[in-house]
Amino acid sequence: MRTQRQVVNHSLRKRAVLRDLLTNRVGPLDVCDASPYLKNAARFHGEPTDERCPICRSENLTHVHYIYGDELRQSAGQARTLAELPPLAMTLREFQVFVVEVCLGCDWNHLVEQYLLGRDGLTESGPEQTAVGGVPATDASDGRRRREARR
């Protein structure tokens, strides 16, 4: 998505949990604890994926997108389909998206990634400036902040 920014990937944490499971440091009941709310969100708003569940290996994972932010008011904390996000990103300045993977077979669930969406991500310099991994044009303001801090 065009305004996607500040992406935090949680795959390292997921790998750590799966490792703990293999070494019996945690049991399946500790990680396969999807709430009825989460499972309903997965059924009604989830995006099916081609990824097999790492625990039961019999179902594919479903991604649920939760949205948070002051501008969302009573919708904050609700699940949205992926198709509902771009229109929201064009109307709101900024909101946070949390992507949770859920297995409807064994109730495995884990936070996959989080990111910001919203019009604030559209810089005046255009989308070609928003390259991934690049240093955004905030150097000037950073310098100002650093100078202010020294004062």
Contacts to Zn ion by CB under 5 A: 53, 55-56, 103, 105-106, 108
Q: What is the CA radius of gyration of the chain?
A: 19
Structural element, H or E, at residue 113:
strand 109-117
- Beta carbon nearer to Zn ion, 31 or 106: 106
Closest listed residue to residue 34, CA positions, set 7, 51, 53, 48 = 53
Instruction: Rank residues 56 and 82 by Cβ distance to Zn ion and give the closer one.
Output: 56
* Residue with smaller CB distance to Zn ion, 53 or 92: 53
Find how far residue 3's CA is from the centre of its chain: 14
Comparing CB distances to Zn ion, the nearer of 26 and 72 is 26
The distance of closest approach from Cβ of residue 82 to Zn ion in the complex, given in angstroms and rounded to an integer, is 21
The least CB distance from residue 62 to Zn ion, in Å, is: 10
**Considering only CA atoms, which of 97, 100, 102 is closest in space to residue 117?**
97
- Least separation in angstroms between residue 55's CB and Zn ion is 5
**Distance of closest approach, residue 92 Cβ to Zn ion, in angstroms:** 34
Is the Cα torsion angle 43, 45, 48, 49 positive or negative in sign? negative
| Residue 25 φ then ψ, to 5° | -75, -25
